[in-house]
Amino acid sequence: MIKIGDSASFKKTFSDADVYSFSEISGDKNPVHLNAEYAAKTPFKRPIVHGMLTAGLISAVLGTELPGKGSIYLSQSMNFRAPVFIGDTICATVTVTKVREGKPIITLETICKNQDDIVVIEGEAVLLAQK
């Protein structure tokens, strides 16, 4: 039984290979992610990990831990707060904030933080949880 306050996390360190693979799969070949010379001229000064690749960690938690297997996304809001760089370790944490009465629909706070405890993504997910 899922209840308010339930929480789960997933952690990953991003590599060059992760960024290049995501670029190939998604088609997002923005040089801010792939070209160090280009990225050096941006405010970040070095390549950044795709925001949606980082956000994928939220999906990993939701689909495998809480609510887990068979859950279906209904919505996800996200605010990107800080860049993620290759070599950063990101921890995605989801926490149940609402359980809908009479239906298996839950709302969760979604937060991703880096190894320095800096919030890089914050948002809210709504899911249909399988019983």
pTM (whole model) above 0.85:
yes
Beta bridge partners of 78: 123
Distance from chain centroid for Cα 10:
9
For residue 100, pLDDT beyond 70: yes
50: its two tokens = 């795709």
pLDDT grade, residue 117 (50/70/90)? very high
Second CATH level (architecture) for the domain 7-128: Roll (3.10)
pLDDT grade, residue 131 (50/70/90)? low
Average pLDDT over residues 125-129: 96
For the chain, percent of residues with pLDDT exceeding 90: 94
pLDDT grade, residue 1 (50/70/90)? confident
Computed over every residue of the chain, the mean pLDDT equals 96
Give the count of alpha carbons within 13 A of 6, CB side only. 16
Q: Residue ranges per domain, the chain?
A: 7-128
Average pLDDT over residues 8-25: 97
Helix axes 16-26, 51-64, angle to 10 degrees: 90
pLDDT grade, residue 4 (50/70/90)? very high
Q: Are 83 and 44 in contact (CB under 8 A)?
A: yes
For 34-73, the pLDDT digits (tens) are 999 999 999 999 999 999 999 999 999 999 999 999 999 9
Q: Are 105 and 75 in contact (CB under 8 A)?
A: no
